[in-house]
Amino acid sequence: MEIKTDLKCGMLSGFAGFALTLISWYFATGVLDPRFPAVIGAGLFGGGFLGSLIKRLYKEGEERKASSIFLAVMLIVGIPLIVEYAYDTLTGNWKIWKLISIFVYTYLICYGIFRVMESRGVEK
């Protein structure tokens, strides 16, 4: 079962991220607050798990599934960010990194759609 390997890789990334963030947070502020590193650790766990899952799917030739997972993650993360930053930009609270983020996430979503459409098993 490859899912156990993926889960172990994700857990290792999550615990390492949690520990490193907790240590650096303590040295930076002098306060030991576990809430912030927990969010970072959970993000690294999810990223490690999904990254190793996508890598395994590409190795097995399941390009469409891997591209669909990538597209789903980009949509879940990108759409709320694009909406919030576009609203901020239109109301006059713009920064250059917000504009760059809008274009980057729009590109990644379009790239994900392109990869799903061009993967094997999709008829045009």
pLDDT tens per residue, range 51-88: 888 888 888 888 888 889 889 988 988 899 899 989 99
pLDDT tens per residue, range 82-118: 999 899 989 988 889 889 989 999 999 999 999 898 8
pTM above 0.85, yes or no: no
State the pLDDT at residue 124.
53
Query: How far apart are the C-alpha atoms of 37 and 67, rounded to whole Å?
Result: 29
Query: How far apart are the C-alpha atoms of 98 and 84, rounded to whole Å?
Result: 9
State the pLDDT at residue 103.
94
Mean pLDDT for 23-30 is 68
> In a 3-state reduction of DSSP, which class is residue 33?
coil
Query: Does the pLDDT of residue 43 top 80, yes or no?
Result: no
Query: How far apart are the C-alpha atoms of 78 and 101, rounded to whole Å?
Result: 9
Find the distance separating the first CA and the last CA of the chain, reported in whole Å: 34
Mean pLDDT for 34-51 is 73
Query: Does the pLDDT of residue 36 top 70, yes or no?
Result: no
Judge contact between 58 and 78, C-beta under 8 A: no
124 or 21: which carries more pLDDT confidence? 21
